[in-house]
Amino acid sequence: MSISRRQFNRIVIWGGASFAASATSGIFFPKPAEAYSLEFPISALSADRVFNGIQKYCGTQPIPGVLSPILQGNTNVSNKIESAAANAIRTADKEFVRRNFTNKRTELAVTGSGSNFASDTSRLWGRQRQEQVGPNVGFGFVQKWEDQYSDAKISGPTMCAIHNAQRVLADQRLTPPEIAASVLPTRSTLDDLSAWGGDADASAGRNPGAVFAQYNTAAGTVTSRYDLVEPGPKGFGRVEFTIEAENQPRRVILVTVRF
C-alpha cells in the first residue's frame, strides 16, 4: 500500500548531520539526508498487519505450523530452525507473555537468506496487547552471530515506526532485501518492550513519557526516539525514526501516532 499525499510529506535536506568519507582522499563530506512526516492512527495497528507488512516489504517467508510446537517445547520442528534457535525463540516469547503480550500471536517467519548459518537470517514473530489508548504490537527477532543466538524484542513506538518506515522505503524504490537490511535488527540484543505511555522507569533522570532505542541492522544503524505529546484517548505521540544505511541517504521519518 502506497502512502497518500495527505499522509506523506517529504523534505530533502542536503548537508544534514550525517557524514561520509571519500575512499580515496579521506576527506569527510556531508551525506545527503531526507526527512519524512507521516500520520498513523493507532487503530490501524495490529500484529497481523505488521506481520503481513514485513512479508510484503522485507520479503520474509512464513513457516506455518512451527511456532506452537516450539513454544510447547519441541525443538525438532523444521530444518530451517535449529534446536538452539527454537530454545531462543521460546525464551524470548516467555518475556512477551510476562509483559502481557498474549493476543493475536502470528506465525513464525524467516528473513534474510534463510540459512541457519547466515548472520543475515532472522526468525521473527509477533504478539500484541491492549493498552488504554490502543493496541501495542511486539515482535521478537532471533539471530545467530558467532555461533550464539541472540534476540531483539521490539514493541510499541519503535515497532510502529518500523511498520511505517518500510512503506516509505518501498516508495523510494528500495528492494525488499534493501528494506530488511535498513530497518530490521541484525546482530543486536535489544529489549525495547515499551508502552505508549513511555518509559515506565523514570529513574536516573529518564523522562517517563519518552522511549529511546538503538540497534544494528545489516546495512547500518537505526535510532528511535518516542515522545508522548498528549496522553490519553484522542491524544498523540511522535516517533523520530532515523535510518543510517550503507549507500543510502540518511533518512529521518517522523511518525505522529494518533490515539
Going residue by residue through the chain, which has 259 residues, state the pLDDT in tens, using 9 for 90 and above: 444 444 455 544 433 444 444 344 454 445 678 999 999 999 999 999 999 999 999 999 999 999 999 999 987 877 778 899 999 999 999 999 999 999 999 999 998 755 554 556 789 999 999 999 999 999 999 988 777 888 999 999 999 999 999 999 999 999 999 999 999 998 888 899 999 998 655 544 456 789 999 999 999 999 999 999 999 999 999 999 999 999 999 999 999 999 9
Q: Supply the pLDDT for residue 6.
A: 41
Q: How far is CA 171 from the centre of its chain?
A: 18
Instruction: Give the predicted TM-score (pTM) of the model.
Output: 0.85
Q: Supply the pLDDT for residue 145.
A: 76
On whether residue 2 sits in a domain, the answer given is: no
Nearest Cα neighbor of 133 from 216, 217, 24, 229 is 229
Interacting residues of 211 by C-beta distance below 8 A, sequence separation 6+: 156, 157, 158, 192, 194, 198, 199, 224, 225, 226
Q: Are 56 and 44 in contact (CB under 8 A)?
A: no
On whether residue 236 sits in a domain, the answer given is: no
Which long-range contacts (C-beta less than 8 Å, at least 24 apart) are formed by 208-214?
211/156, 211/157, 211/158, 213/154, 213/158
β-sheet bridge partners, residue 140: 125, 153
Q: Supply the pLDDT for residue 160.
A: 98
Q: Supply the pLDDT for residue 4.
A: 46
Domain count across the chain: 1
Identity of the residue numbered 169: L
User: Rounded CA gap, 181 and 216, in Å?
Assistant: 10
Rg (CA), the chain: 18
Angle at 79 between CA 122 and CA 61, to 5 degrees: 45
Nearest Cα neighbor of 117 from 86, 92, 81, 75 is 81
β-sheet bridge partners, residue 148: 145
On whether residue 164 sits in a domain, the answer given is: yes
On whether residue 149 sits in a domain, the answer given is: yes
Interacting residues of 70 by C-beta distance below 8 A, sequence separation 6+: 77, 81, 86, 89, 90, 108
The grid coordinates of residue 167 equal 512503506
Interacting residues of 233 by C-beta distance below 8 A, sequence separation 6+: 132, 133, 259
On whether residue 172 sits in a domain, the answer given is: yes
User: Rounded CA gap, 47 and 126, in Å?
Assistant: 6
On whether residue 107 sits in a domain, the answer given is: yes
On whether residue 5 sits in a domain, the answer given is: no
On whether residue 177 sits in a domain, the answer given is: yes
Residue 139 domain boundaries: 42-225
Q: Supply the pLDDT for residue 204.
A: 42
Residues in the chain: 259
